[in-house]
Amino acid sequence: MINEFSPEVISEIDYYVYRLIDPRNGNTFYVGKGRGNRVFAHMNDALAFEGDEDAASTKISLIRKIRQEGLEVIHVIHRHGLDGKTALEVEAALIDAYPGLSNIKGGLSVERGAMNAQQIQNIYHAETIEKITDKCIIIKVAQRSIDDNNGDIYEATRAAWKLNLYQAKKADYVLSVVNGIVKNVYGDLQWSVIEDWARKKFDGKEAPEDVKEKYVGKLIPPEYRKRGVRAPCRYVNC
């Protein structure tokens, strides 16, 4: 099995989207995009990892277990010859299509990802918030994260995010946003760092009813729904 592409191949395939598959059960456990030898970098990272196994990411741990059993991760180039923008879209679609991935975060098109007909209707028929007046952090949550938390929006929203802790503490509320629509608002926020991960989480409770009435069930303003903005967290008035 190869562990790198030749320069000639790299010059031809441009951007590509790939899947990593567990040979023991045929399950796709990671979806990614890249150029050059990006698809092989995960294997190299796993082989070079020398830390505590408990501190390894799900992806790294899985690759190491596969190798320990004398097997090799299956690499599938799902699409190649793409430009960067198209690669982002294909990656996002595949992340939606394979639940239970070890990806830490979702793909680009959270607000244009997999949804049913009623959700489509809700998005394009919902009232738009004219202006967010409170100090908030908008957190865009993928539907698959809610599914992974047995439908618990709070648990899917509270962790784990790359945030500036100092700036996060300025916020009075977190707006939990799914497919562009505010699903709930949380206040009394207490932020902390997830050990060994350098990501942040919060503890809180549902905001007062007068605050929820301003936002819940409504579409966030268009400036926070621009295409191509990958960051799932946005500070507002902080």
Q: How would DSSP label each residue in the chain? A: --SS--HHHHHHHBEEEEEEE-TTT--EEEEEEESTTHHHHHHHHHHH--S-GGGS-HHHHHHHHHHHTT--PEEEEEEEEE-HHHHHHHHHHHHHHSTT---SS--S-GGGSS--HHHHHHHHHSPBPS---S-EEEEE--HHHHHHTTT-HHHHHHS-B---HHHHTT-SEEEEEETTEEEEEEEEEEEEEETTTTEEEEEEEEPPHHHHHHHTTSBPPGGGS-TT---SEEEE--
pLDDT at position 52 is 53
Average model confidence (pLDDT) across the chain: 86
Residue pLDDT, tens place only, 42-68: 887 887 766 555 445 788 888 989 999
Contact 74, 110 (CB under 8 A): no
More confident residue, 48 or 230: 48
Contact 136, 170 (CB under 8 A): no
Residue with tokens 């993928």: 142
Residue with tokens 């180039």: 77
Phi-psi region of 25 (alpha: psi -120 to 50; beta: other; left: phi over 0): alpha
- Which of 11-25, 52-66, 95-109 is least confident? 95-109
The average pLDDT across 138-155 equals 85
Contact 216, 182 (CB under 8 A): yes
Is residue 170 pLDDT above 50, yes or no? yes
The average pLDDT across 24-53 equals 84
More confident residue, 114 or 178: 178
Banded model confidence at residue 29, pLDDT cuts 50, 70, 90: very high
The average pLDDT across 173-192 equals 94
Is residue 165 pLDDT above 80, yes or no? yes
Banded model confidence at residue 238, pLDDT cuts 50, 70, 90: confident
pLDDT at position 169 is 95
The average pLDDT across 16-22 equals 95
pLDDT at position 55 is 46
pLDDT at position 56 is 55
pLDDT at position 77 is 95
pLDDT at position 153 is 92
pLDDT at position 180 is 87
Residue with tokens 């989207």: 17
Instruction: Enumerate the domain spans of the chain.
Output: 7-108, 117-236
For the entire predicted model, the pTM comes to 0.56
Domain at 7-108: CATH code: 3.40.1440.10
